[in-house]
Amino acid sequence: MLDIKRIRQDKDQVIELLSRRGGEYPIEDLLKADERRRELLAETEKIKAEQNRVSKQVPVLKKEGKDTAELFEQMRFLSDKTKELDNQVRLCDEQINEWLLGIPNTPNKDVAVGRDETENVEIRKWGAVPQFDFEPKAHWDLGVALDILDFERAAKITGSRFTMFKGLGARLERALINFMLYTNTTEGGYTEISPPFLANRKSMTGTGQLPKFEFDMFGLKEPDYFLIPTAEVPLTNVYRDEILPEEALPVKLTAYTPCFRAEAGSAGRDTRGLVRNHQFDKVELVKLTHPEASYDELENLTKDAERILQKLNLPYRVIELCTGDIGFCAAKTYDIEVYMPSYNRYVEISSCTNFEDYQARRTNLRYRDGDGKVKFVHTLNGSSMAVGRTIAALIENYQQADDSIRIPDALVEFMYGTTEIKAGK
Partner RNA sequence: GGAGAGAUGUCCGAGUCUGGCCGAAGGAGCAUGAUUGGAAAUCAUGUGUACCCUAACCGGGUACCUAGGGUUCGAAUCCCUAUCUCUCCGCCA
Which residue ranges make up the site for RNA (CB under 7 A)?
4-5, 38, 41-42, 44-46, 48-49, 51-53, 55-56, 58-60, 62-63, 72, 75-76, 78-79, 90, 223, 243, 366, 368, 372-374
| Least distance to RNA, CB of residue 55, Å | 4
Separation CA 282–CA 189 (nearest Å): 18
One of 21, 37, 366, 389 is an active-site residue; which one? 389
Active site residue 161: no
Count the neighbouring beta carbons within 10 Å of the beta carbon of residue 290.
Answer: 17
Min CB(36)–RNA separation in Å: 11
Which residues neighbour 293 within 8 Å (Cβ) at sequence distance 6 or greater? Answer: 249, 250, 378
Nearer CB in complex with RNA: 48/311: 48
In whole angstroms, give the CA distance from residue 150 to residue 305: 28
For the question of residue 269 being annotated catalytic, the response is no
- Between 86 and 420, name the residue whose CB sits nearer to RNA: 86
Closest contact distance (angstroms) between CB of 34 and RNA is 7
Among residues 284, 272, 309, the alpha carbon closest in space to that of 380 is found at 284
Which positions ≥6 away from 251 have C-beta within 8 Å? 191, 239, 244, 286, 287, 288, 289
Question: Per DSSP, what are the bridge partners of residue 284?
Answer: 255, 383
Is-catalytic flag, 261?
yes
**Minimum gap (Å) between residue 377 Cβ and RNA:** 13
Cβ 178 to RNA shortest distance, Å: 22
351 part of the active site: yes
Closest by Cα among 78, 76, 86 to 40: 86
Backbone phi, then psi, for 335, in 5-degree steps?
-100, 140
CB 277 within 8 A of CB 163: yes
Among candidate residues 294, 342, 350, 351, the one labeled active-site is 351
Running DSSP on this structure, what letter comes out for residue 399? B
Least distance to RNA from the beta carbon of 375, Å?
8
Catalytic residue among 20, 21, 261, 366: 261
Helix (H) or strand (E) holding 255: strand 251-260
Residue 70 bears catalytic tag: no
Distance CA 413, CA 425 (A): 19
At 298, phi and psi to the nearest 5? -65, -40
> Distance (Å, rounded) from C-alpha 164 to C-alpha 146?
13
- Closest approach, Cβ 288 to RNA, in A, equals 17
Residue 38 backbone phi and psi in degrees, to 5 = -70, -35
The region, left, alpha or beta by phi > 0 then psi within -120 to 50, assigned to residue 208 is left
* CB-based contacts of 80, cutoff 8 Å, min separation 6: none
Which candidate in 119, 348, 404, 420 is catalytic? 348
Active site residues: 261, 276, 348, 351, 389
